[in-house]
Structure 1
């Protein structure tokens, strides 16, 4: 276990961290997420003993890390830095062998081949062991540094952007490997920019912004639209990945549209309409939609109000009444397919939308058509401005 208590660090007059608390238990993978300049790298360097805190302390299995020698720390903490540059053209194997240095005395020239071989194999670098660091790609260099950390046989892994410069295949493989090491009882803490990867692989996330921990907890509790917008100062759409069932974060532009839109219908076409309206900035409602419908699930992820009906059942009179009320409150209605009747859409300005075309009918009943999301937004803009 490694923990930091009330950690503060400044460089000159610039405060980078202020009163940060962090604990990573054995068998736990904790991700540090936050905007650039939030202090993630500084926090990692405090945890591995490279920096000394201005205030607070770091303990490694209840021992203050500042009381330990660098060799003693390196026997217990393996670090994968963000920068993979080297001053000399060492081979990949030579760099991995450096990970055994903390375990050797000055006169110890014993063979450490087994540990080095195992580290190269686990990081899939055996075939490149004789290549110099200068001849490796950025991603291959990152895997060499991970292998060097593994060769240390540490209890704690401290990783600064371990998936930087890796393609999606090796991103997954590296984080799978870290997860495997954690399952063996190690503790791991990593700064990760990719929020989707962090949500998928980490047990807990700590959101760091302006040198402070804003929130911490399981990914599904931490990665919310409101929490991310506060920390990253950007609008996001947090949905659930249908394959991994973990949070998926998408940064979206700030919508400038004003007004309320009701999407009347369900299914993939309604989902598309809902997305276009939400991205434009409208306050969007949806329904009637069956429970579990793709449009209803997206609406729930985006925090939109939904009128649902049981799957494979039509709307009853109470449901129809709820839908009429939503339409009456809307400035415009986007109708999908034949899911509505005239009684359901009393709002004078009505937009009809499907995958083949979009018809917008204003107060006078004049039809307009659109075949793209951009055209739909244009129609809705006209309707809401005249509503």
Structure 2
């Protein structure tokens, strides 16, 4: 659907794009990722035909964009810009109706007008902005304007859709809903979507493929797991990151590490299992902490991760409940740790002993991605233990793990030791 062949673009004497070559198949959702200034917006504008490349060529639907009239190009490509500022004082419905301009002519009859109205109403319904129809576009919020401009693009009914940071002005709820809709447009409507997305984890979860841009060049291309490799990210963003699978969605998940010395003082014990702590183990280990984990059953993917990282792990037989010996080993590591991390693990009768052992911790960090009630299979005892640990410690999301552990370790160093007491 979209072919980009050796495209170079200079602006103000600076080479913004340099020999970019890639293709996007019909019905594919491709994300453009990369640092600020990488050329993502410039590439979108070149695909749309707003910018003429200094060399190379862009084709949409088999025809060079440069050979298409403005109306012809708009019938093939619809755009949702990053800048949602609109200075004119039109009602929202009129703004969405502007998406039908490429199809209008002086000779259009009432049947055409009725079809236009139907498409406008359908686009507003799909983006959930019908209730804003009569309001001025200057009187709605930035997030609402973003959805109005998406509705305008849908009303345009073009087979290709370009989005420049479509979630930039939205809260997390509307970010997800917007990308779910875009994913649906590709899957069900067959639209070809190219979107510049700054959030790597959202891009990995929703896109079929990614293009990693840096320095005006495509540094990596393919599925999210291949593109978001740690060496690619370090080269493009000049930062260290840990890449793992998200424990809930299974999609590629990137955690940026702070620019601090790799080695730091502090011992951390991690309680989890069932694939819930692999990412946490990578992050804590890469951050320089001495990490232990357990108890984990043989065959657990978290145990495989721990062994690959050379971590101290308390183990139990496959499918066996945590026995007394393993529980005592966990308690010992918890007592010796400066901080204990309780992951977003499912708790049943077999691993309830891990929660009991965590009560020995002086500093607790509880990583919560799902309400505990959704993963509690051990009844009121487990609920009471979890509540106690949550009240004593910090409850954080996975992205706040490092800062919370740092605080917990620092607090542990300030407490008097048992010998001093």
TM-score range, shorter chain: 0.7 to 0.9
CA distance, structure 1, for counterparts of residue 283 and residue 56 of structure 2: 49
Counterparts in 2 of 1:307 and 1:277: CA distance versus 1, 3 Å: closer
Question: 1:223, CA displacement in angstroms?
Answer: 1.6
Q: Which of these residues, 116, 120, 124, is aligned with residue 116 of structure 1?
A: 120
> For residue 236 of structure 2, what is the aligned residue in structure 1?
231
Tell me what 1:384 maps to: none
Match of 1:104 in 2: 104
Aligned 8 A contact 1:3 1:23 in 2: yes
TM-score w.r.t. length of structure 2: 0.71
CA distance, structure 2, for counterparts of residue 45 and residue 276 of structure 1: 37
| Cα distance in 1, alignment partners of residues 293 and 266 from structure 2 | 9
Q: CA RMSD in A?
A: 3.5
Residue 120 of structure 1: how far off its partner (Å) = 0.6
The 2-side partners of 1:36 and 1:292 are apart by 42
Match of residue 141, structure 1, among 138, 145, 162: 145
- Match of 2:61? 61
Given the superposition, is the C-alpha separation of residues 148 and 277 from structure 1 closer, same or farther in structure 2, using an over 3 Å criterion? closer
1:290 alignment partner, one of 274, 278, 297: 297
Paired residues of 1:336 and 1:352 also in contact (CA < 8 A)? no
Name 2:220's counterpart in structure 1. Answer: 215
Matched residue, 1:127: 131
Aligned equivalents of 2:30 and 2:258: distance in 1? 29
Correspondence 1:281 to 2:306: no
Q: Measure how far apart 1:235 and its partner are.
A: 1.8
Output the CA distance in 2 between the equivalents of 1:132 and 1:176.
27
Q: How does 1:173-184 map to 2 (within 5 A)?
A: 173-183=177-187, 184=189
**2:242 touches 2:282 (CA, 8 Å); kept in 1?**
no
Q: What is the deviation of 1:224?
A: 2.3
Secondary structure in structure 2 of the residue aligned to 1:337: helix
CA distance in 2, matches of 1:225, 1:47: 29
Write the distance in 2 (CA, Å) between the matches of 1:305 and 1:261.
17
Aligned length in residues: 338
Match of 2:194 among 189, 192, 203: 189
User: Which SS does the other structure have where 1:216 is aligned?
Assistant: strand
Following superposition, the deviation at residue 191 of structure 1 comes to: 0.2
Which of 323, 331, 335 is residue 337 of structure 1 equivalent to? Answer: 331
State how far apart, in whole Å, the 2-side matches of 1:197 and 1:278 are. Answer: 25
Tell me the alpha carbon deviations over residues 232-273 of structure 1, each in whole angstroms, 9 at most, x when there is no partner.
11122223222211122222212314389998x863499699
* Distance in 2, Cα, partners of 1:255 & 1:287: 27
TM-score, normalised by the number of residues in structure 1? 0.77
Counterpart Cα distance in 2 of 1:120 and 1:259: 53
CA contact (8 A) 2:160 2:192 kept: yes
Hey, what's the Cα distance between the residues in 2 that align with 1:35 and 1:338? 44
Counterpart of 1:72? 72
Superposed, which structure 2 residues align to 1:292-311 within 5 Å? Answer: 293=300, 296=303, 299=306, 304-305=309-310, 311=318
The alignment partner of 2:225 has SS state of helix
Q: CA deviation at 1:215?
A: 0.4
CA distance in 2, matches of 1:168, 1:266: 28
CA 1:167–1:292 in 2, change beyond 3 Å: closer, same or farther?
farther
Deviations 1:36-59 (A, max 9, x none): 110000000011111111111011
**Which sections of structure 2, spanning at least 5 residues, go unmatched?**
322-328, 341-357, 364-392, 394-403, 414-421
**Secondary structure class of the residue paired with 1:57:** strand
* 1:195-243 C-alpha deviation (Å, 9 max, x unpaired): 1111111000111011011101111222222221211111222232222
SS of residue paired to 2:258:
coil
State the SS of the aligned residue for 2:211.
Answer: strand
Residue by residue, what CA displacement relative to the aligned partner does 1:256-308 show, whole Å, maximum 9, x if unpaired? Answer: 14389998x863499699578535435868789534658547648xx724588
Consecutive unaligned residues in structure 1, runs of 5 or more: 315-334, 341-349, 360-370, 381-387
